Structure 1
Amino acid sequence: MLKSYHRVFEVPHLASLLTWSLLARLHVAGLPIAVTFLVAGWTGSYALAGVVSGALTIGSALAGPIRGRMADRGGTDRLMLVSGVVYAVGLSLLVVLPASWWWASVPLALVTGVFLPPANQIGRALWPRITTGQVRKSVYAAEATLQETLFIIGPLLAAGAVGFAGARAAVALLAAIALIGSIGFALALRRAGVTEADEQDGPAEKGPRRSLLTSPPLVLVLLMCLLMIGGLGSVDLVIVAWAREMGAPGNAGGLAAIWAAGSLVGGLVAGTLSGQARIPLRAFGAAAGITLLIPLLPPITHLSSPWMVSPVLFVAGLAIAPTLAAVMERLGDIAPPQRRAEAFGWMSTAITAGMSVASPVTGWLIDLGGIAAGVGGAAVLTFAAAALSLFLRPLPEKASEAV
């Protein structure tokens, strides 16, 4: 395992690019928490807080493909710098907004979301350009695995800042992190000399061109992402609801960490496997893992302690990062080389759509049938994603001996 990842860090500039790409996204998972506390403090309404957080998300989703298209045309360092500055300014304006002007936070959040720094699109489009073979597999696996840790660190950081210094300070802190990460990634791109389009990929398309959504293989991957992330996001929501029902909301962080730890271990192992990943096997494994949780949750079973489900929760997470890594790698393979960042922009939009649709449905299922019903809905979504993966054709130039 160590040898596989050692080769990743032997690639010039790759360690710096991966590190700054992740740091530039650190704020994303924690921002909804900080914004929710901020707006709820102004208005006393979590519904209005959800509207503002939703506006941030919608702005980001709408602009994802556009930011990706801009990245494909070159100047990725400038794109990161401009996006990072405007995004940080937008969040800073939200911080200083008077509580009586809460209504202005909705359009402000929408515009700010449009300028979310596209670190994930730029990075994921870059890996096929600077890596090949097993190293490429390992870097995608490492990214998917480390992304799981961001989903833990970000919310903990935001919640801690809210508790220590208040919601305004928390949003300000995340704005600073976004700006520093964007500047760092821009400088890393410049040092690596990968800010412009690669001539080997062919000239960037100009003027009217066919939408990437006319490509059936690419649309299939995007639909799979939408359903898979919708299911995984539903489990996160269920964990929070379960902890709240038990009167111990603090347990949510620990349970989510166990689930993420399983994903982390699975991702690290997957990054060492050679050959073409069997995406259906990984996807069905992720769906089956979630299904294992259903009979252990109320109202089917009432455990004396939520920590009794920890071993199963860990196992349920094992296939998550491997599946996401394989899907990201496949999207990078099938997207036109000169439009990879745009393709990953569409992936970001699909992920956002999946989470946006799954959250209210999961909440309805929990209200209707309890915690187990919420996980059941998540299992249905992930099994649907796995079923779609059966239509993915293997790439002919790669071996298929790996899992």
Structure 2
Amino acid sequence: MNFSVYRDLLSIVPVRRLLLVGMLARFPHAAAGVLLTLHVVLTLDKGYAAAGAVAALVTIGIAVGAPWRGRRVDNVGLRRALIPSVISEAVIWSVAPHVSYEWLLVLALIGGLFTLPVFSVVRQSLGVLATGDKRRTAFTLDSIATEIVFMGGPAVGAVLATSLSTVVGLTLVGLSTAAAGLFLMWFNPPTRSAATGALPEHDVEAATAAVVTAAPAHLREPAVELAQAAAEQAEAEDPSRGGILHRFSAGFSWVTLSVAVVFVVAAGAGVLLASSDVGIVAMVESTGNPGELGIVFAVWCAASLVGGLVYGAMNRKISPMLLLLGMALLTLPMSLATDTMSLALLSIPGGLLCAPVLSAASERVADLVSEERRGEAMGWYGSALTTGTAIGAPLAGAAIDTIGPASGFAFAGTAAALMVLITLGARALVTRRSARV
């Protein structure tokens, strides 16, 4: 392990600034999860399954909107792509706390659709600013920054809900997120490298000439072959050519078996994190001390921070699938907790693998997908993550309402572990069949 890589990366001003902006933009949403749950359970007097349904609709909206937002960033630039998010965040979350549960469901879906795409934008920009092994460290630093935010965000949300009101808390979330979006637009981090933006698209001769001119004399012949192959592939993927089926398949030509496996990891992580999140809220609230939520979230996120620091300093990669399996199995003992402190302590083993799972998956996407499609790919990665969240939150809530708070953690660990094992088996089967052909 080499911890000096953190110092070297943080010495790069754009990287340091991007991580700071990402932290500020994420903080309101870090408080929103707890506020929404407590708003439905305490203010609207509904159950945890109802709260899980609201969270599910938010995440379904995010899952549908993230690829579209990512493509908009790729096509029109960051500033124009963020305008709808800034407006909707300010309006929707100022209105949502004042409506009935039924209207809250509608607004939750719309709010999720136009959520500020902080995750995909930050990861896409880090993929441009950092290359090679530095990407692992950069994505790990972003995961660590996220954990720091989630150490404080839920605690602030719980304090706002219990000392003031969930109505005030959710309104502040919307206004703060809109302000963060304006700050992100002002900063305007790079989402495409200058070299890539300078190359012409779908022009074989121009692309070949550009590469050959830049290549040394003894490498010009292989450079011609590589440039022609790349340009011809881009021309074949031109959505303006061919019929509807051709354009649709060309639009997803970047999706390979390996990319699909990473998306399954993201969905599994979403199931695991959302179920654990609902379980923590239910377990602590059942003790009659909801104000202690911040203790558990702080310990859980601190463990993830430590795990992320260790993983980012490692000199080799670990499969995100194996990391997710380990995290799922280590989450199961949380169901044995009897009070706030025991829950906090039991959250440490699983928490150690949280940041490494997300860092490894993001790094894998950046390695597998070309820069021209990386914004959209990160959007789909975020969609997979939030789809898992949408599945995990209501199912865990239903289990908690039926059996008890401990069942949330049992469901979380078992569901994520089964997703990993089924995916590993399916991948092995596809690989064997491909080998036979």
> Do both proteins adopt the same fold according to a TM-score greater than 0.5, normalized to the shorter chain?
yes
Q: Percent identity?
A: 26
Q: Which residue number in structure 1 is paired with residue 119 of structure 2?
A: 120
Distance 1:246 1:50, change over 3 A: closer
Residues of 2 paired with 1:70 and 1:309: CA distance?
A: 42
Residues of 2 paired with 1:21 and 1:277: CA distance?
A: 25
Q: Does 1:337 align with 2:371?
A: yes
The amino acid that maps onto 1:77 is: R
Q: Which residue number in structure 2 is paired with residue 70 of structure 1?
A: 72
Deviations 1:147-170 (A, max 9, x none): 223333222223333344433332
Q: Which residue number in structure 2 is paired with residue 376 of structure 1?
A: 410
The amino acid that maps onto 1:92 is: S
Q: Which residue number in structure 2 is paired with residue 160 of structure 1?
A: 159
Deviations 1:268-298 (A, max 9, x none): 111111233343443333233224445x34x
Q: Which residue number in structure 2 is paired with residue 129 of structure 1?
A: 128
Q: Is the 8 A contact 1:225 1:385 kept in 2?
A: no
Q: Does 1:354 align with 2:351?
A: no
Tell me the CA shift for residue 209 of structure 1.
4.0
Which deviates more from structure 2 when the two are superposed, residues 333-342 or residues 23-32? 23-32
Tell me the CA shift for residue 226 of structure 1.
0.9
Deviations 1:334-355 (A, max 9, x none): 1232111211211222222212
Residues of 1 paired with 2:370 and 2:290: CA distance?
A: 45
Among 224, 227, 241, the residue aligned to 2:282: 241
Residues of 1 paired with 2:61 and 2:356: CA distance?
A: 29
Tell me the CA shift for residue 249 of structure 1.
3.1
Q: Secondary structure, in 3 states, of the residue corresponding to 1:30?
A: helix
Q: Which residue number in structure 2 is paired with residue 25 of structure 1?
A: 26
Deviations 1:66-116 (A, max 9, x none): 111111224112222442133223333446x5x5x7755544443333221
Q: Secondary structure, in 3 states, of the residue corresponding to 1:274?
A: coil
Q: Secondary structure, in 3 states, of the residue corresponding to 1:29?
A: helix
Distance 1:132 1:81, change over 3 A: same
Unpaired stretches in structure 2, ≥5 consecutive residues: 202-233, 241-246, 429-437
Q: Is the 8 A contact 2:262 2:365 kept in 1?
A: yes
The amino acid that maps onto 2:19 is: L
Q: Is the 8 A contact 2:155 2:297 kept in 1?
A: no
Q: Please identify which structure carries the higher helix content.
A: 2
The amino acid that maps onto 2:165 is: G
Q: Is the 8 A contact 2:52 2:394 kept in 1?
A: no
Residues of 1 paired with 2:37 and 2:334: CA distance?
A: 29
Tell me the CA shift for residue 186 of structure 1.
1.7
Q: Which residue number in structure 1 is paired with residue 170 of structure 2?
A: 171
The amino acid that maps onto 1:384 is: L
Residues of 1 paired with 2:288 and 2:122: CA distance?
A: 41
Tell me the CA shift for residue 248 of structure 1.
3.2
- How big is the alpha-carbon RMSD for the aligned residues of Structure 1 and Structure 2? 3.3
Which deviates more from structure 2 when the two are superposed, residues 280-289 or residues 266-275? 280-289
Which deviates more from structure 2 when the two are superposed, residues 192-201 or residues 72-81? 192-201
Residues of 1 paired with 2:333 and 2:104: CA distance?
A: 42
For the pair shown, the structure with the greater C-alpha radius of gyration is: 2
Q: Secondary structure, in 3 states, of the residue corresponding to 1:247?
A: coil
Among 244, 259, 265, the residue aligned to 1:218: 259
Tell me the CA shift for residue 333 of structure 1.
1.4
The amino acid that maps onto 2:29 is: V
Distance 1:91 1:377, change over 3 A: closer
Q: Is the 8 A contact 2:90 2:177 kept in 1?
A: yes
Which deviates more from structure 2 when the two are superposed, residues 266-275 or residues 40-49? 40-49
Distance 1:7 1:366, change over 3 A: same
Q: What does 1:19-98 align with in structure 2 at a 5 Å threshold?
A: 19-35=20-36, 44-45=45-46, 53-94=55-96
Residues of 1 paired with 2:45 and 2:329: CA distance?
A: 40
Q: How many corresponding residue pairs?
A: 382
Which deviates more from structure 2 when the two are superposed, residues 46-55 or residues 358-367? 46-55
Residues of 2 paired with 1:234 and 1:60: CA distance?
A: 17
Q: Does 1:279 align with 2:320?
A: yes
Q: Which residue number in structure 1 is paired with residue 12 of structure 2?
A: 11
Q: Does 1:320 align with 2:320?
A: no
Residues of 2 paired with 1:370 and 1:347: CA distance?
A: 32
Distance 1:93 1:291, change over 3 A: closer
Q: Which residue number in structure 1 is paired with residue 269 of structure 2?
A: 228
Per the normalisation by structure 2, the TM-score is: 0.76
